[in-house]
Amino acid sequence: MRYDVVIIGGAIVGSSIAYYLREEGFSGSIALVERDPQFAHAATTLSCASIRQQFSIPENIRLSQFTLKLFRRLKEEFGADADIGFREGGYLILAGENGLPILKANHEAQMAEGADIVLEDAEALVRRFPWLSAEGITAGAYGRSGEGWFDAHAMLMLFRKALRAKNIDFITADVTGIERQGDRVTGVSIDNGERLEAGIVVNAAGPNAGKVSAMAGLALPVEPRKRNVFIFEAREKYDDMPLLVDPSGIYVRPEGSVYISGGAEPEEGDGPADPADFEPDWPLFEEVIWPVLAIRIPAFEAIKPTRAWAGHYDYNTLDQNAVIGPHPQVKNFLFANGFSGHGLQQAPAVGKALAELIVHGGYRTVDCSAFGYSRVAEGRAFRELNVI
């Protein structure tokens, strides 16, 4: 079997690349290879499905803004019944005295990109959100529009459904090897022993991307990192609550009639997850998250934890930012990896960008050059400071 493009990983990133390839007029053959067609363990379906403008670097803001525009014209793009339940509830990122300079610098970068974020002192924040305790808080940045949350599964299904009419071969298989001859990859082998010859191979393998790159003999600093999400009920319902990020990194947001929270894992010194470990770490909620929530929102002293899940971040250990585009030497091997907790909201933009690169030979809509692999080869970090 010969394909012009073989995409490894059929969740949101792989599906988006396939979708935009056809939208950009690519007429060659495309195989979308996925080993877990129910997406039971994909980061996409286990994510918190939130979108924000509050990044530290303009390039990340631009990627999210592309997706935001798509969300606002979802029905035009995907049809009248398209609905991902997008709720524009905003983010509220809080800082104490120490975090203030970074919050201010980030806010300036966001304003320069036209984001609708206000920076307010603690007093103004408590006026806006009377349920909030300002203990230890100097200021916060609140997204009045353009930020919120949605249904990740519905978003994935929109892309997957749209692909059905686009002449894509969906292959259910585990990619077990990648063939390379010098500076070209030539094909992939799959677990039933077959071989798919490939003109271009795209790595969209999420948390498994480091291993998939290694199959082609290419180093990629992306590994799975376990992240827990806890659901709880509370007597008080705060309909105006944004996705609140405490200075400790712990976050909480409403999800219908309940709340979801997480963010207690340390970013540094946290090793790769066992690929089979999806067991929620309940003590993390009881010992770390809940005490913080009870201080920040005093009504949360009395809550009822109900459910939890764990997923794997596609974590880039170099700089917690995506690696996008071709390998500088092996030019027909393309990366779309290492999003480190913000890949769901960036996937449509990245799909569009890589499709433009393949079809037109360069980025046209969102320039992803800064995310290129050369920084990995040089060990040069392109760091995102707001990793949630």
Ligand X SMILES: Cc1cc2nc3c(=O)[nH]c(=O)nc-3n(C[C@H](O)[C@H](O)[C@H](O)COP(=O)(O)OP(=O)(O)OC[C@H]3O[C@@H](n4cnc5c(N)ncnc54)[C@H](O)[C@@H]3O)c2cc1C
Q: Which residues bind ligand X (CB under 6 A)?
A: 8-9, 11-14, 33-36, 39, 42-44, 46-50, 174-175, 204-208, 212, 227, 229, 311-314, 339, 341-345, 347
Nearest residue to ligand X, scored by beta-carbon proximity: 343
Question: CA 22 to CA 179: how far, in whole Å?
Answer: 26
Those residues whose C-beta lies under 8 Å from the C-beta of residue 301, and which sit 6 or more positions away, are 294
Closest CA to 328 of 360, 367, 382, 375: 375
Q: Which is nearer to ligand X, 332 or 345 (CB)?
A: 345
Question: CA 274 to CA 365: how far, in whole Å?
Answer: 37
Cβ at position 135, least distance to ligand X in Å: 26
Q: Which is nearer to ligand X, 103 or 204 (CB)?
A: 204
Cβ at position 98, least distance to ligand X in Å: 25
Cβ at position 219, least distance to ligand X in Å: 17
**Where are the extended beta strands (E) located within the chain?**
2-8, 30-34, 50-51, 91-95, 117-121, 139-143, 148-149, 169-172, 175-181, 184-190, 195-203, 222-234, 243-245, 251-255, 258-262, 303-316, 323-326, 333-337
Q: Which is nearer to ligand X, 126 or 309 (CB)?
A: 309
Question: CA 74 to CA 83: how far, in whole Å?
Answer: 7
Cβ at position 318, least distance to ligand X in Å: 16
Cβ at position 101, least distance to ligand X in Å: 25
Closest CA to 84 of 153, 14, 163, 12: 153
> Which residue intervals of the chain are DSSP H helices?
12-23, 43-46, 58-72, 74-78, 100-112, 122-128, 152-164, 209-215, 282-283, 290-296, 343-360, 374-378
Q: Which amino acid is at 281?
A: D
Cβ at position 4, least distance to ligand X in Å: 19
Q: Which is nearer to ligand X, 95 or 387 (CB)?
A: 387
Q: Which is nearer to ligand X, 33 or 94 (CB)?
A: 33
Q: Which is nearer to ligand X, 51 or 139 (CB)?
A: 51
Q: Which is nearer to ligand X, 13 or 250 (CB)?
A: 13
Question: CA 264 to CA 292: how far, in whole Å?
Answer: 10
- Mapped onto helix, strand or coil, the DSSP state of residue 358 is helix
Cβ at position 134, least distance to ligand X in Å: 25
